[in-house]
């Protein structure tokens, strides 16, 4: 009942030549096609969200690797300074 009244109102609002008038006809076949379109949009949204989260995770993982590489390089340089500086550095520092 509600669906039929919605379809009648939509057909009146859109007019018979409007591209969305196809979706407002209300027959069983077209209702199934609307359900298929809705399911397709839902699947598309889930895949888009998954891809977005994956890209974000990949960027964070790369940033973490870059940070560790920079810190390792810094530590190596500091150790090289202490080793080749010619100074007697106490063991505790």
- Asked if the structure places residue 44 within a domain, the reply is yes
In a domain, 93, yes or no: no
Query: 10: which 2 tokens?
Result: 């939509």
> Would you state the torsion angle of the CA atoms of residues 13, 19, 25, 26, taken in this order, to the nearest 10 degrees?
-100
Distance of CA 12 to the CA centre of its chain: 38
Q: What is the pLDDT of residues 17-64, one digit of tens each?
A: 665 555 555 566 667 788 889 899 999 999 999 999 999 999 999 999
Is 92 within a domain?
no
29: exposed, middle or buried (Cβ count in 10 Å: 0-12, 13-18, 19+): exposed
Count of the separate structural domains present in the chain = 1
Helix boundaries (H) for 1-93: 2-14, 28-84
Q: Does residue 58 fall inside a structural domain?
A: yes
Any domain includes 20:
yes
Cα 7 to Cα 28: distance, rounded to the nearest angstrom: 12
Residue 90 resides in a domain:
no
* CA–CA separation, 24 and 68 (whole Å): 58
Question: Could you tell me if residue 17 is inside a domain?
Answer: yes
Q: Domain of 10?
A: 2-84
Query: What digits encode the pLDDT tens for the residues 48-59?
Result: 999 999 999 999
């Amino acid at each position: 009942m509600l669906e039929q009244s919605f379809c009648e109102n939509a057909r009146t609002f859109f007019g018979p030549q409007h591209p969305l008038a196809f979706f407002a006809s209300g027959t069983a076949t077209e209702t199934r096609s609307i359900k298929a379109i809705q399911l397709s949009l839902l699947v598309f949204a889930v895949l888009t969200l998954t891809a977005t989260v994956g890209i974000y995770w990949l960027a964070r993982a790369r940033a973490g690797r870059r940070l560790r590489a920079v810190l390792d390089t810094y530590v190596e340089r500091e150790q090289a300074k202490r080793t080749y500086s010619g100074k007697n550095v106490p063991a505790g520092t």
